[in-house]
Amino acid sequence: MKELLAYAATFIVALAMFGTFFFIVKRAREETNKVVNG
């Protein structure tokens, strides 16, 4: 049970990091488009 909990916690942390990274990349791309188009 403890192993499963540790695995789940690791998965959640990795998912959160991936989501944050994806959000930052998306924002950066939008800012770049503004500069290029503007």
Note the pLDDT of residue 38: 78
Q: How many structural domains is the chain composed of?
A: 1
The pair of structure tokens assigned to 22 is: 């994806």
Note the pLDDT of residue 8: 98
Note the pLDDT of residue 1: 86
**Confidence class for position 21, pLDDT limits 50, 70, 90:** very high
- For Cα atoms 5, 11, 14, give the angle at the middle one, nearest 5 degrees: 140
On the question of pLDDT at 2 being above 90, the answer is: yes
Three-state SS at 5: helix
| CB burial of residue 15 (10 Å; 0-12, 13-18, 19+) | exposed
**Which structural domain, as residue segments, surrounds residue 24?**
1-38
Q: Average pLDDT of 2-31?
A: 97
Distance separating alpha carbons of residues 15 and 38, to the nearest angstrom = 34
pTM more than 0.75: no
